[in-house]
Amino acid sequence: MKKVRNLILCAAVLLAAVGVFLALTKGKEGGEKELLIDLTADKIAGISRTDEAGNTISFRREEGTWICETDPSAALDQAEMNTLCAGMTGIAVFQKITDVKDLKLYGLDPPAVSLTVTDVSGKEITVAIGDNNDSAGVVYALRDGDGGCVYAVTPSIKTAAQKELADLTENL
């Protein structure tokens, strides 16, 4: 009798886990996940980021080569720049929180870092990145033009966005 009860309990736990997994991975209609920045790395033509202190670093890709606009003499490591681009794309939205009234609750007023990504056509996507929620394994982000929606996304975008110029230059 105990074996049957334990088997039923295990099956119920498994079904609940599958339900949670499906709810977290559902995304937009058509089964596609919503992406915070819906670009591939090769479509990024420019990156600008501003930290909490107001320090801005800007980069642009010119004929396949990354250049630092804020310090044109910096010898950028092209592989690091491509890794930076990859770290800003494919960021799946785990949760969309609507009708947010107080951005301070998510570390978005002011944000830890603001990021503007420009695609090859000149379209800009600006994202503010706030606090980490370590227990959920997410960071909160706010995309310009989304009317107070806060997104829970992977913290890798914050790690990429907070790289300093020294992290992106060639070690000579």
pTM over 0.75: yes
Instruction: Render each residue's pLDDT in the chain as its tens digit; 172 residues.
Output: 655 444 444 433 343 333 334 444 444 445 578 999 999 999 999 999 999 999 999 999 999 999 999 999 999 999 999 999 999 888 999 999 999 999 999 999 999 999 999 999 999 999 999 999 999 999 999 999 888 899 999 999 999 999 999 999 987 5
For 29, the 3-state DSSP assignment is: helix
For 91, the 3-state DSSP assignment is: coil
Q: Which two tokens stand for residue 1?
A: 């009798």
Cα–Cα distances (Å) from 121 to 44, 45, 89, in that order, read: 9, 8, 17
Q: Which two tokens stand for residue 102?
A: 């107080």
**H helices within the chain, ranges in order?**
2-25, 78-87, 156-161
pLDDT tens by residue, 12-47: 334 333 333 444 444 444 557 899 999 999 999 999
